[in-house]
Structure 1
Amino acid sequence: MTGTELAVEGVTLTAGAHRLVRDVSLTARPGEMIGLVGPNGSGKSSLLRAVYRVLRPEAGQVRVDGADAWSMPVRHLARTVAAVVQEAGADFDLTVREVVAMGRTPHKRLLDGDTAEDRLLIESALTSVDAAELADRPFDRLSGGERQRVLIARALAQRPALLVLDEPTNHLDIRHQLDVLGILRRMPATVLVALHDLNLAAHYCDRLYVLCDGEVVAAGPPAEVLTPALLNDVYGVTAEVTVHARTGAPQVTFLPDEAARPALA
């Protein structure tokens, strides 16, 4: 598994008369972890859907290693790109191990069984997200956080060159948030991830793209992007941004309205 290059070039997305994303461009170089941040409704999920070929652009292109993703053969795309989405259901009548094994499907012919390599990759993926003990449990009886870890394991078992994730830390406790993002950070694959937690995004991502009202309003390394002025403009909040003494990453502290107001004389 090695990373691939992703290029989103002037993509515009619509749903009926509603424009979701307008003229958005971004790049992710092989092995980079790129974060999408922005308020609810800013277009993050819509843009990801265009990358993993669910929502076709009205204008612009999505290129994976130079090829138009929307013209690639489905099987080739499935071997190259894996997605972890927010709206994945829990109605699989399968065990956890069987769900994770689905990640190997793009690499097989019809009716092929699991090889020794497949089984090794499945067990490794389960172990990496701390879900090995869940392997024989029914997927539909797991908690939200457990299901999320299993779906991430399924994507890891796929061994993609590009991994696209929409809020992968949803439902996860703090330990598993850090574990999962640490796994993504260490992967040789290229990673495009939408995150709400700006401090996690600042710590784990090489570069950030900030979306607001369907447009990219800032892009670059976290230290350049996460400024008090931008956070006020995009999120409408007052924040202080410092450098974390141990990690060197930007540390965002949001201030309640009362703390932001000057003290009365």
Structure 2
Amino acid sequence: MTATELVITGITLTAGAHRLVEDVSLTARPGEVIGLVGPNGSGKSSLLRAVYRVLRPKTGRVSVDGTDAWSLPVRQLARRVAAVVQESGADFDLSVREVVAMGRTPHKRLLDGDTAEDAALIETALASVDATGLADRPFDRLSGGERQRVLIARALAQQPSLLVLDEPTNHLDVRHQLQVLGTLRRLPTTVLVALHDLNLAAYYCDRLYVLRDGRVTASGAPAEVLTSRLLEEVYGVASEVTVHPRTGAPQVTFLPAESHDPDQ
């Protein structure tokens, strides 16, 4: 895998008369892990859909290495961009290994079989999400967390230069959350990821974009963005933000409403 540059310039996304995202710009430099954070309905998933070409911008542009993503042939885009979405959309009647092998499709011609290189990439992808032991199991018999790991493995097997993920830690236990995000952090590729857990975002992301009501409220390094003032403005909840003594990353603790004194 190699890294690519993603540039989103002033895009607006709509659904009928409703504006989902308005005038959003974002840059992910090659090799960066960029996090999207914000409350439900803030536009994170909609923005990602514009990148992996499900939701066409009404205005603005999504560029991959300087080329309009919406102008690329589907197969060519699939060789560059892989997505892990919240809704998998299908109960595949396939084994886990066969689902992960689907990630190799953009790199093949019609009727091509798997090569030794494909097999090695599939096994590596499975191992990276702790799913080797699931390889021969039916995908539709897996738990939600197991399915999520397999779909991430499928995206890794695709060897994209840009990996787009919408809440990849959903359904995962703590160990697998850390394992998956650690794997993403080490990839030689560019990653754009929407996350709800601000502490995970602070530790694993190079930069964050905070969305609220479809607009970018703040962007920058986690230590610059994650402030008590901004979090109260965006989430409507009081918090304390400290520096973790071991990781050096910002650590957010949300406070119950009854413990929050607005005069302090």
1:237 correspondence with 2:237: yes
Instruction: Measure the CA separation in 2 of the matches of 1:232 and 1:262.
Output: 11
Q: Which residue of 1 aligns with 2:189?
A: 189
Measure how far apart 1:261 and its partner are: 3.1
3-state secondary structure, aligned to 2:145: helix
Instruction: Measure the CA separation in 2 of the matches of 1:257 and 1:16.
Output: 37
Structure 1: gaps of 5 or more residues: none
After the TM superposition, which segments of 4 or more aligned residues of structure 1 sit over 4 Å from their partners?
none
Residues 104/119 of structure 1: CA separation in 2 closer, same or farther (3 Å cut): same
Q: Which residue of 1 aligns with 2:141?
A: 141
Q: Which residue of 2 aligns with 1:24?
A: 24
Instruction: Measure the CA separation in 2 of the matches of 1:135 and 1:239.
Output: 42
Measure how far apart 1:73 and its partner are: 1.2
Q: Spell out, residue by residue over 1:13-37, the C-alpha distance to the aligned partner (whole angstroms, 9 max, x if none).
A: 0000100000000000000000000
Q: Spell out, residue by residue over 1:95-149, the C-alpha distance to the aligned partner (whole angstroms, 9 max, x if none).
A: 0000000000000000000000000000010011000010011000100000000
Instruction: Measure the CA separation in 1 of the matches of 2:114 and 2:238.
Output: 53
Please give the residue correspondences for 1:68-79 in structure 2 after superposition, counting only pairs within 5 Å.
68-79=68-79
Q: TM-score, normalised on structure 2?
A: 0.98
Q: Which moved more, 1:254-263 or 1:76-85?
A: 254-263
Instruction: Measure the CA separation in 2 of the matches of 1:261 and 1:95.
Output: 54
Would you say the 8 A contact 1:90–1:147 is kept in 2? no
Measure how far apart 1:260 and its partner are: 1.4
Instruction: Measure the CA separation in 2 of the matches of 1:26 and 1:47.
Output: 10
Please give the residue correspondences for 1:46-65 in structure 2 after superposition, counting only pairs within 5 Å.
46-65=46-65
Q: Which residue of 2 aligns with 1:210?
A: 210
Please give the residue correspondences for 1:39-188 in structure 2 after superposition, counting only pairs within 5 Å.
39-188=39-188
3-state secondary structure, aligned to 1:211: strand
3-state secondary structure, aligned to 2:40: coil
Q: Which residue of 1 aligns with 2:227?
A: 227
Would you say the 8 A contact 1:90–1:139 is kept in 2? no
3-state secondary structure, aligned to 1:181: helix
Instruction: Measure the CA separation in 2 of the matches of 1:248 and 1:234.
Output: 24
Instruction: Measure the CA separation in 2 of the matches of 1:90 and 1:2.
Output: 29
3-state secondary structure, aligned to 2:101: helix
Q: Which moved more, 1:196-205 or 1:252-261?
A: 252-261
Q: Spell out, residue by residue over 1:25-78, the C-alpha distance to the aligned partner (whole angstroms, 9 max, x if none).
A: 000000000000000000000000000000000000000000000001111100
Q: Which residue of 2 aligns with 1:10?
A: 10
Instruction: Measure the CA separation in 2 of the matches of 1:138 and 1:17.
Output: 42
Q: TM-score, normalised on structure 1?
A: 0.98
Would you say the 8 A contact 1:4–1:189 is kept in 2? yes
Paired letter, 2:172: L
Q: Which residue of 2 aligns with 1:38?
A: 38
Instruction: Measure the CA separation in 2 of the matches of 1:21 and 1:10.
Output: 10
Residues 64/252 of structure 1: CA separation in 2 closer, same or farther (3 Å cut): same
Instruction: Measure the CA separation in 2 of the matches of 1:30 and 1:233.
Output: 31
Measure how far apart 1:91 and its partner are: 1.1
Instruction: Let me know the Cα RMSD of the aligned residues.
Output: 1.0
Measure how far apart 1:238 and its partner are: 0.2
Instruction: Measure the CA separation in 1 of the matches of 2:26 and 2:14.
Output: 18
Measure how far apart 1:89 and its partner are: 3.1
